[in-house]
Amino acid sequence: MRAILESLLALALGVLVGAAVMAAWGRDPWGAYGALLQGALGNLRALTSTLSRSLPLVLTALTFAVAARAGMFNIGAQGQMLVGAVVALSTGLFTLPAGLHLGVALALAGLAGALWALPVALLKLVRGVNEVISTIMLNWVAHWLTLYLVVQKLSDRVVGQRTFLAPASMRFPPLYGELTWSWTVSVGVALFLFWFLWYHRQGYEVRAVGLNPKAARAAGISVPRAMLVALLLGGISAAWAGAIQVLGRFPYAITSDLANLGNLGFDGIAVALIGRNHPLGILGGAFFFGVLATGAARMGLRGIPLEMIQIVQGVIVVAMAAPEALRLLRRVRRRTTAEVPV
Amino acid sequence: MTQALLSAEKITKVYPDGTVALTDVDFAVRPGEVHGLLGENGAGKTTLTKIISGLLPPTAGRIVWRGKPVQFSSPREALKAGIGMVHQHFALVGPFTGLENIALGAEGGRILSAVRAAAIRRRVEELMAASGLQAPLDVPVEELPVGVQQRLEILKMLFRDVELLILDEPTAVLTPQEVDELFPILRRLAAQGKSVVFITHKLREILAVTDRVTVLRRGRTVAVRDTPDTTVEELAQLMVGEAVVAKVRRAPRPPGPVVLRVQDLRVPGAQGRPAVDGVSFEVRSGEIFAIAGVQGNGQSELVEALVGLRPWTGEAELLGRSLRGKGPAQIAALGLAHIPEDRHALGLILEFNVVENAVLGRIRPFLDPLGGVRWRRATHFAQDLLTKFSVQARGVRAPARSLSGGNQQKLLVGRELSKTPKLLIANQPTRGLDVAATRYIRDLLLRLRDEGLAILLVSADLDEIVELADRVAVMYRGTFTGVLPAEELDWEKLGLLMGGVAVQGARE
């Protein structure tokens, strides 16, 4: 309850600062915000576009959130998402019956994401390497590996600027407009993780470890296992973000500059913070993020320069993410002063 | 009578949480003396010196420095006036050299130029020669032994021209040899006209190095003595107080079978010094075996080893089964319950609600076959705990943080006892609790003992020890200085043992 109030306040603050910026440069802020809402939610087609944009963000945000619940700062969603996308697409190199093909693609992508998260967990638990460092490095490995595969191995023979198209047998069936049935993955994973964290023993242990690793250990909880589980589940979730972006959304391929995968992983961090690292909050946070992203194009039509749109988006996102980010930082500071052995 | 360099008059300190640390304390230091400040843990020694050195404001009372009343609002101001304190945890920058550490903060806001550095080095070398405090100046301090770091800390203070040097338990971190080196230096500083306040709870050290001694007990000044006119026995008694004749509430009870057997247990500590240096004991069913001692003598490490949180060597058996190589979960499964010393750090997860805390470490009975938690059942269990152990809480959904300290402890104790243990390890079970909660916990421990539970009690509170224990071991620097049956307990003996003085008749 307090969290929702806090978020609304932060939203109001962000919106006001954004308005001040636009007004200071002589633009009409309220008209611009109106355009934003119109563009994102004005009709069914706009709404499906917004939803479709937010779906992969749900998954990458969950990656961050489940690790944060275990007391870690996992920024590896970006790399895991790329790996998931490329593995899912590569499954199209085989021929399988419709439906089954999609299932196999998701399974392989999830496996790849977990494998990409595994070294992070092993380095942390065996050698004490901070997960921030290892995930940043693995993100770059994934980036260049994906780029290489997309450009050199998977590109379309005719249309050079993208990979081959995912065969129809492994696409998510369309629902309306840009929206496909891929929403079931995002919502399903969010609901699963909600259940896992609050109604399953291992999830309970993950939260215990995140809040007080010393007390968790004293109570006989395996701290390494909780962290491993949180990282692997996150890896799967992020990989599926990449997979549904490729198999559930136009252009059903990966563009040669990776533009349609963009910064899904990093944006997920902001979404997780907006959603208070809570799976259900993240559903709302991702939708909110989708609104900002989709509606921005409309603001451009009102004569707002792109840079200013990005400033306004940034201000609002920062304001919304700040409360949870501060909370995490405080916890980390307490932790480092308390010197917790893993 | 010599004019006092510093006097603290009628100092009272109440912490924001309501703890009264000092009541009307008088304390005076003369120029050129080494003045001992003696007391048990929690007697108020550190609080008093923090007030003198400007780290804490007094609630009431005044500080007179060189005949003038002063009010320091920060350690920096006190330092400028000439009062410097060396804390138990040093304030040195690890990667900096000794010289850089000494210059740090004294360099006058300018970058340390080569010329200034040379001047500083000359001063420091003079100080080293005059005081006898030798330390390398060009080695990063993190590579130096603790004793040498301490010398640098003292040099740092001398470099700022302090008149009054306060050392908070300076010998706690030193080896006996380093202690032997430190004492002549303190005498030399006094001979040069500096005043030294020397905080300790070790009686021998008071006699060895001080001119006068002030004894604090429970936040009050109980005595000021000229050191030559006092004895170890008198100081011991002053430190722990007269025995408030404890009503023996314990029904005599023949001890039952051995539940915990510990043989030559050793636990490594910081800096390669053993924290527990070979202790052996047994705890029997229906017995409270207490470990007394000033905190920091290895009690915490001993407990952490027994509950599986720390590596150790030697042998420990619970009901005949070795604890060697077992973790907290496995040891708990053998029948051990643990009330940890710091309930916030180890016992509870404050952000979790009452139900989640009630099943911490004992969630197994509340799981379905798939590992799902049956929260409804857990909630019933938590409600039962609240009733049975009279825990006051807003409800079972309230976060543990919202409970008072006493209620947090009752919740924790209730949870541990609900495991139906064979052995209960209670480490400082009533520390920081109000009178009612303390009474509740002590009565509960006595009742459990009468019902046949084996209890290992660790406490720094002598009242608690005398009231509860059937046998008492006193721990000092990682070993037992003696084991006494309850009938032979007396306060003087306890005080001596706690101060590290061997006593006739106490079994090693």
Q: Chain A: residue nearest B342 by CA?
A: A215
Model pLDDT, residue B271: 65
- Cβ of B347 within 8 Å of Cβ of A215? The answer is yes
Tell me whether residue B343 is in a domain. no
Q: Tell me, what CATH number does B431's domain have?
A: 3.40.50.300
Chain A closest CA to B16's CA: distance in Å? 21
Tell me whether residue B340 is in a domain. no
Mark whether B101 and B193 lie in a shared domain: no
Mark whether B237 and B360 lie in a shared domain: no
CB A250 within 8 A of CB A178: yes
Tell me whether residue B90 is in a domain. no
* Spatial separation of the C-alpha atoms in residues B427 and B299, rounded to whole Å: 9
Mark whether B378 and B297 lie in a shared domain: no
Give the sign of the dihedral formed by CA A297, CA A300, CA A302, CA A305. positive
The HSE-up count of residue B139 (CA atoms within 13 Å, CB side) is 10
- Cβ of B328 within 8 Å of Cβ of A217? The answer is yes
Chain A touched by B335 (CB under 8 Å)? no
Mark whether B40 and B172 lie in a shared domain: yes
Model pLDDT, residue B218: 82
Considering only CA atoms, which of A269, A36, A264 is closest in space to residue A143?
Answer: A264
pLDDT per residue as tens digits for the range B378-413: 999 999 999 999 898 888 999 998 888 889 999 999
Q: SS3 of B284, please?
A: strand
Chain A touched by B327 (CB under 8 Å)? yes
Model pLDDT, residue B246: 47
Give the sign of the dihedral formed by CA B476, CA B481, CA B483, CA B489. negative
Model pLDDT, residue B432: 72
* Spatial separation of the C-alpha atoms in residues A27 and A30, rounded to whole Å: 9
Nearest beta carbon to residue B373 from set A201, A215, A338: A201
Which contacts of B114-122 are long-range, i.e. CB under 8 A and separated by 24 or more positions?
Answer: B120/B159
pLDDT per residue as tens digits for the range B75-109: 889 999 999 999 877 888 888 888 888 888 766 55
Tell me whether residue B87 is in a domain. no
- Cβ of B350 within 8 Å of Cβ of A212? The answer is yes
pLDDT above 90 (res B344): no
Model pLDDT, residue A255: 94
Mark whether B235 and B258 lie in a shared domain: no
Mark whether B314 and B427 lie in a shared domain: yes
Q: Poorest-confidence range of A177-191, B243-257, B435-449? A: B243-257
Extract the tokens encoding B391. Answer: 């825990």
Q: What is the mean pLDDT of residues B492-505?
A: 72
pLDDT per residue as tens digits for the range B230-247: 988 888 888 877 554 445
Give the sign of the dihedral formed by CA A81, CA A83, CA A85, CA A87. negative
Specify the higher pLDDT residue, B366 or B249. Answer: B366
Mark whether B323 and B439 lie in a shared domain: yes
Model pLDDT, residue B503: 61
Average pLDDT, chain A: 92
Mark whether B436 and B467 lie in a shared domain: yes
List, in order, residues 6 or more apart from B458 with CB less than 8 Å away. Answer: B290, B291, B299, B300, B302, B303, B341, B425, B426, B427, B428
Tell me whether residue B342 is in a domain. no
| Count of domains forming chain B | 4
Extract the tokens encoding B259. Answer: 């539940």
Tell me whether residue B88 is in a domain. no
pLDDT per residue as tens digits for the range B106-157: 665 555 667 778 888 999 999 999 888 888 888 888 888 878 889 999 999 9
Chain B closest CA to A212's CA: distance in Å? 6
pLDDT above 50 (res A339): no
- Cβ of A208 within 8 Å of Cβ of B372? The answer is no
Q: What is the mean pLDDT of residues B419-427?
A: 94
Model pLDDT, residue B458: 95
Name every chain B residue with its beta carbon within 8 A of the beta carbon of A217: 309, 328
* Final residue belonging to a domain, choices B117, B134, B159: B159
* Final residue belonging to a domain, choices B401, B420, B439: B420
Tell me whether residue B142 is in a domain. yes
- The single residue listed with the structure tokens 């008749």 is B505
Model pLDDT, residue B252: 72
DSSP classification of residue A157? S
DSSP classification of residue B5? S
CB interface of B with A, residues 464-493, below 8 Å: none
pLDDT per residue as tens digits for the range A101-155: 999 999 999 999 999 999 999 999 999 999 999 999 999 999 999 999 999 999 9
Q: What is the mean pLDDT of residues A7-11?
A: 88
Chain B closest CA to A240's CA: distance in Å? 25
Model pLDDT, residue A340: 36
* Final residue belonging to a domain, choices B420, B449, B465: B420
Helix, strand, coil share of chain A (percent; to 5): 75, 5, 20
Model pLDDT, residue A167: 95
Tell me whether residue B384 is in a domain. yes
What is the band of A335 on the pLDDT scale with cuts at 50, 70, 90?
Answer: low
Q: Poorest-confidence range of A20-24, A190-194, A318-322, B1-5? A: B1-5
pLDDT per residue as tens digits for the range A161-219: 999 999 999 999 999 989 999 999 999 999 999 999 999 999 999 999 999 999 999 99
Mark whether B63 and B177 lie in a shared domain: yes
CB B203 within 8 A of CB B501: yes
Residues spanned by the domain of B153? 95-159
* Spatial separation of the C-alpha atoms in residues B254 and A124, rounded to whole Å: 52
Query: Which of A199, A277, A342 to probe by mutation at the B interface, max B CB count within 10 Å?
Result: A199
* Spatial separation of the C-alpha atoms in residues A113 and A88, rounded to whole Å: 11
Mark whether B167 and B77 lie in a shared domain: yes
List, in order, residues 6 or more apart from B454 with CB less than 8 Å away. Answer: B256, B259, B260, B283, B284, B285, B286, B287, B289, B422, B423, B424
pLDDT per residue as tens digits for the range A279-328: 999 999 999 999 998 888 888 888 888 888 888 889 999 999 998 888 88
Q: What is the mean pLDDT of residues B319-327?
A: 94
Name every chain B residue with its beta carbon within 8 A of the beta carbon of A208: 349, 352, 356, 360
pLDDT per residue as tens digits for the range B207-222: 999 999 999 988 899 9
pTM above 0.80, yes or no: no
Mark whether B403 and B427 lie in a shared domain: no
**Percent with pLDDT over 90 in chain A:** 75
> Which domains are seen in chain A, by residue range?
2-10+27-335 (1.10.3470)
- The number of residues in chain A equals 342
Mark whether B3 and B43 lie in a shared domain: yes
Query: Which of A1, A217, A222, A277 to probe by mutation at the B interface, max B CB count within 10 Å?
Result: A217
pLDDT above 50 (res A337): no
Model pLDDT, residue B247: 52
